[in-house]
Amino acid sequence: MKTNILYNYVLILLIVACLYACGVSKFIPEGESLYTGAKIDIKSEQEIKNTKKVSKELHTLLEPEPNSQFLGIRPGLYFHYKAQKANPGFLNRWFNKKFGEEPVYLSDVNPQRIEELMLNRLDNRGFFYSMVSSEIDSTQKHAAIKFKAELQTPYTLEQFKLDKDSLPIYADISSALTKTQIRPGQRFDLELMKYERERIDHELKQKGYYNFNPDFLIFEVDTNRYDTKKFDLFLRLKKNVPKKSLIPYIIDSISVYPNFSIETDTTVSSRSSVVNGIDFYQKEEFFKPKKLESYILFGVGQKYNSENSRLTSNRLSSLGNYKYVNIRFKERDTTDTDSVGSLSADIYLSPLTKRSVRAELQAVTKSNGFAGPGVSVTYNNRNLFRGGETLGISGNFAYETQLSGGNDTGLSSIAGGLRADLIIPTLVPFSPKSFKYAVPKTKISLGTDILKRSKLYTLTSFNGSFGYTWNANKYVYHELDPININYVNLSNTTDEFTAILDKNPFLRQSFEQQFIAGLTYSFTYNELVDSNKSHPFYVSTSLDIAGNALNLLSGSKTTIFGLEYAQYAKADVDFRYYIKWGNEQALVTRLYGGWGIPFGNSSTLPFVKQFFSGGPYSVRAFNIRSLGPGTFSSDENGTNSFFDQSGNLKLEGNLEYRFPIWNYLKGALFADAGNVWLTNEIEISEDEPIENKEFNEELIAKGKFGSNWAKELGIGLGFGLRVDIQSFVIRLDLASPLQVPYLPEGERIRTPFLDGGSDNLIFNFAIGYPF
């Protein structure tokens, strides 16, 4: 008790000392006052709607920003002042470089300029004749500014009309105005009018008006008809707009150069072929014109459409065969009497290197004590059949051995695989023109893998799939595999592993069904692709259904082609929310849930389809795949820690704060929680030995999902370092358990990094961010 009281006193003294040390008043020069910020008091003569939005806009005009604070102190400013000493020392210079802030004094603020900006903003929002004043609230060393904005009743729109004449373009402007956001009853809003001009310009660009410009449109306001604060709004074209800007343009020729050299800026002079009026120029056939034409969304004789041009550029870029895509439009000579102009379109495509080989040497270390070398080789052939097809062949080999682990020392595994992927830039057999945003792709894959674990088993698998991928828009991605086949063969089982299977029917049943055939679908919505979003979120969900088609083909049989096939449905969802601010700082939250249900021919999910928890991309305070199911632990039952633990239900949550340290070095503080459970019953044969029955009953009791699931979560805290070089990330995380689910209830809570034995500290080495 006395120790705790002494500890609290020391902690309080340290906090007081830090607060005193970080005080900056003594550093402020004579005659200066530290600027601490500004407040805005908004008043109006009558109730006005949406004043919160007006207040938010006015606050954006407050400049400069005062020095940042943390718990009432200004550490950044403190580090700056300390670094200005004659001999600041290395630490003070380093802290100043990383966290220091230049002081912001009252003399740096121009209240009159801010008042003018506020009045201008209020005028732009319809609050004409408003008043803004300011006063300084200061002490000896600090000063703040109070602004007072007195809003007048805003002007509101009575009617909005297009003031048109006989020019044909007015018909298209009138059509565009059917989607206007300007409505009667709205306040005068200059920003909305600017947006409306840009929107109308965008609409006209889709109708052929190649030379139009939003500045050619002008809004006029009339308040003379009303005694109250109302106005009429008129839209018209400015005078003396160039004639070529008032007429639509037709594309009269299209030339494509599929093998353009960006280095020499050269093209082939002779025409090689014509498809649907489009000329293709290539000395030798690099890309089949008929196939390339299907990715171009505009044609000869059509009106110019800027959106189709942009989407065509996106589609050609997403083929994966070109490093450079450029579409150039050129005006033909047009006389003053012409009502329609003409354009020529030239499409320049500079190819990537057709063939490439990449080899990688790897050194793998895992949190379960396994380490070893690995090698992978990948061969790519782009534009294989001169239609944008990409063939990728990859092979990998890895050897791992248990460097530490008590009785498990000396265990090893050999893994190898060969995979071939053919990607065709279309939805076979559909036309790619039905997908305008990006080129959809058909993917055909074949592969084989072998995993040999010493003293246990050899697992050989063959897999094949046929499916489609496509981007619906900037954020949405779909992947559908209507055919997905996997054959798994377990062989060379040792007596030790056979004993494990005999003891654990859940595990045995998961290895028995060797043939998996079904459908998989995944949907992803990803706002991280937009770097301007400060609060992006990411959600991905997938569905995996197997065995239904085979069940129809085989009737009531449990096998097909002599192989027992699996039947199950499995779904998961991964949700992430990011809060970004300042200099590369972010708070990331993640929630994950997955559930698989075996049915019909299956009593458990196949081993390769089960859920696992723990490791560098999961709950980092626990070894890889070592959590669960529930409160069960394989170690305490002597089943061998080399074997993975699994379940058919998984819940996981993560919280991580990321911050920069120096240049490419980043830091992180994190908390993880998760586990796997069993939800389906496990059949226990009456002929099982008593020892096996006891083990199975314990597995069911400890692994079953129930109302106390929160007390069965593996929870850990940790910190990490990341070397982030142009999105290539080497990650080092050190974590420690806070709650250990397989310990007796009442003993599961630990003090991270202090309590526990050899498993108290878990080191994770990984490539890439965990989420």
Q: Which of 564, 399, 411 is nearest to 490 (CA)?
A: 564
- What does each C-alpha distance from 224 to 186, 187, 218, 219, 231 come to in angstroms? 18, 17, 19, 16, 8
- Give the residue from 122, 139, 154 where a domain finishes: 154
316 plus 451 within the same structural domain: no
58 plus 161 within the same structural domain: no
pLDDT of 15 strictly over 60 = no
686: confidence class by pLDDT, cuts 50, 70, 90: low
What is the pLDDT, as a whole number, of residue 1?
A: 45
pLDDT of 20 strictly over 50 = no
Residue bearing the bigger pLDDT, 545 or 726: 545
- DSSP class of 401: E
627 plus 715 within the same structural domain: yes
pLDDT 10s digits, 359-383: 888 766 655 567 788 899 999 999 9
What is the pLDDT, as a whole number, of residue 139?
A: 81
571 in a structural domain: no
What is the pLDDT, as a whole number, of residue 450?
A: 94
How many separate domains does the chain show?
6
575: confidence class by pLDDT, cuts 50, 70, 90: very high
Residue bearing the bigger pLDDT, 498 or 266: 498
Alpha helices in 22-127 (DSSP H): 51-59, 75-83, 89-99, 111-124
CA 584/CA 724 separation, integer angstroms: 12
377 plus 312 within the same structural domain: no
pLDDT 10s digits, 622-666: 988 889 899 988 765 444 444 568 899 999 999 999 998 887 889
For residues 403 and 367, the answer to whether their CB atoms sit within 8 Å is no
What is the pLDDT, as a whole number, of residue 684?
A: 62
pLDDT 10s digits, 170-180: 999 999 999 99
- Give the residue from 154, 180, 215 where a domain finishes: 154
pLDDT of 337 strictly over 60 = no
Reduced to 3 states, what is the DSSP secondary structure of residue 530?
Answer: coil
331 plus 360 within the same structural domain: no
- Kindly report each contact of residues 77-83 with a partner whose C-beta sits within 8 Å and lies 24 or more positions away, as own/partner: 77/24, 77/34, 77/101, 77/103, 78/21, 78/22, 78/23, 78/24, 78/27, 81/24, 81/27
What is the pLDDT, as a whole number, of residue 7?
A: 45
534 in a structural domain: no
117 plus 236 within the same structural domain: no
Mean pLDDT of 594-623: 90
222 plus 142 within the same structural domain: no
330 plus 388 within the same structural domain: no
pLDDT 10s digits, 215-255: 999 999 999 888 889 999 999 999 999 999 999 999 999 99
In Å, how far from its chain's centre is CA 667? Answer: 20
62: confidence class by pLDDT, cuts 50, 70, 90: very high
Residue bearing the bigger pLDDT, 286 or 10: 286
402 plus 467 within the same structural domain: yes
Residues 6+ apart with CB under 8 A from 296: 254, 256, 278, 312, 316, 347
Q: Residue 687: count other Cβ atoms within 10 Å of its Cβ.
A: 7
pLDDT 10s digits, 260-309: 887 766 665 566 789 999 999 988 889 999 999 989 999 999 999 999 99
543 in a structural domain: no
CATH label of the domain that carries residue 133: 3.10.20.310
Strand 278-280 to strand 217-222: parallel, antiparallel, or no bridges (unpaired)?
Answer: unpaired
pLDDT 10s digits, 695-711: 777 778 888 999 999 99
483 in a structural domain: no
Percent of the chain having pLDDT more than 70? 88
CA 169/CA 245 separation, integer angstroms: 10
For residues 343 and 251, the answer to whether their CB atoms sit within 8 Å is yes
549 in a structural domain: no
Sheet architecture: strand order including 34-44 = 34-44, 142-151, 131-138
304 plus 421 within the same structural domain: no
744 plus 644 within the same structural domain: yes
pLDDT 10s digits, 120-167: 999 999 999 999 999 998 887 899 999 999 999 999 999 999 998 889
CA 466/CA 482 separation, integer angstroms: 7
Sign of CA dihedral 20, 25, 26, 28: positive
Task: Specify the residue for token string 């293709």.
Answer: 280
478 in a structural domain: no
What is the pLDDT, as a whole number, of residue 574?
A: 98
β-strand partners of 725: 728
* Residue 334, domain extent: 249-351
Residue bearing the bigger pLDDT, 729 or 10: 729
141 in a structural domain: yes
83 plus 110 within the same structural domain: no
DSSP H or E run through 497: helix 495-503
Please report the DSSP string for 697-759 in residue order. Answer: HHHHHHHB--TTGGGG-EEEEEEEEEEEETTEEEEEEEEEEEE-TTSPTTS-B--TTTSSSTT
CA 437/CA 451 separation, integer angstroms: 41
Q: What is the mean pLDDT of the chain?
A: 86
- Count of helix runs (H) and strand runs (E) in the chain: 13, 29
What is the pLDDT, as a whole number, of residue 52?
A: 82
- Give the residue from 289, 321, 351 where a domain finishes: 351
Reduced to 3 states, what is the DSSP secondary structure of residue 694?
Answer: helix
For residues 670 and 620, the answer to whether their CB atoms sit within 8 Å is yes
**Confidence (pTM):** 0.77
Residue 742 backbone zone (phi > 0: left; psi -120 to 50: alpha; other: beta): alpha
Mean pLDDT of 67-87: 83
Structure tokens at 125: 């929002």
- What does each C-alpha distance from 537 to 17, 474, 533, 727 come to in angstroms? 41, 14, 9, 19
765 in a structural domain: yes
Helix, strand, coil % in the chain, rounded to nearest 5: 25, 40, 40
Task: Specify the residue for token string 């679908």.
Answer: 521
Q: Which of 25, 23, 111, 39 is nearest to 73 (CA)?
A: 23
Peptide bond into 616 cis (omega under 30): no
Q: Which of 348, 353, 354, 352 is nearest to 281 (CA)?
A: 348
pLDDT of 559 strictly over 80 = no
